[in-house]
Amino acid sequence: MQDDRRHEPPFEAVLYPNPPMSRAGFILLAGFLLGASTAIGTLFWLAGAWPVTGFLGLDVLGLLFAFVVVRRAARRREIVRIDADGMVVRRVEPDGRVREWRFEPYWVRVEIDDRGPGGPHLVLASHGRRLVLGSFLAPEERLEFAEVLREALWRRRSFPAPA
């Protein structure tokens, strides 16, 4: 007997945070901030309030540092794959580290946990293990993905077991 699940196309979803802005947008913003800060700092310098210039420079450096940190964090990815071999969740951190979890599709539950800050959390639960997915997504996106994931798991469970 042939395993029909081998012919079922796999489900794969890649979750990632919304990027703060494009590289070109970041360069444009940095140029604008530097230009505006230089112009304002020059006016304060000419008015005799030269210490303000240093603080304006610190403000610009702080803002640019914050944008760099946010852009780096936006490289995080979570890949969810369901195929004939099971369910795999792979998390790729911004620094390139990869963590992987395996679940048996017949036993995994997709839960919405309303406790805690940040709105509802999407949780995969199986045999006492819990994994939070898509923590960087908006609450509405988490709920939407939970439904998509439940449907993909239902389709996977609907195929007969291999002989």
Hey, what amino acid is at 8?
A: E
Tokens linked to 68? 């760099």
Q: Are residues 151 and 82 in the same domain?
A: yes
Structural domain count, the chain: 2
**Considering the chain, what is the average pLDDT of its residues?**
89
Q: Residue 105 half-sphere exposure, CB side, CA atoms within 13 Å?
A: 25
Q: Are residues 90 and 140 in the same domain?
A: yes
- What lies within 8 Å, CB to CB, of 85 at 6+ separation is none
Domain membership flag for residue 163: no
Q: What is the pLDDT of residues 99-133, one digit of tens each?
A: 999 999 999 999 999 887 878 999 999 999 999 99
Q: How far is CA 34 from the centre of its chain?
A: 30
Domain membership flag for residue 31: yes
For the chain, give the percent of residues with pLDDT over 70. 92
Domain of 91: which CATH number? 2.30.29
- For residue 99, give its domain range: 4-18+76-158
- What lies within 8 Å, CB to CB, of 130 at 6+ separation is 123, 124
pTM for the full predicted model: 0.73
Domain membership flag for residue 86: yes
Q: Please state the rounded mean pLDDT for residues 146-156.
A: 94
Q: Are residues 68 and 146 in the same domain?
A: no
What is the pLDDT confidence band of residue 6, given thresholds at 50, 70 and 90? Answer: low
Domain membership flag for residue 96: yes
pLDDT for position 1 = 43
Tokens linked to 137? 């997504």
Q: Residue 138 half-sphere exposure, CB side, CA atoms within 13 Å?
A: 5
Q: Are residues 100 and 136 in the same domain?
A: yes
Domain membership flag for residue 149: yes
Domain membership flag for residue 129: yes
Residue 92 has pLDDT above 50, yes or no: yes
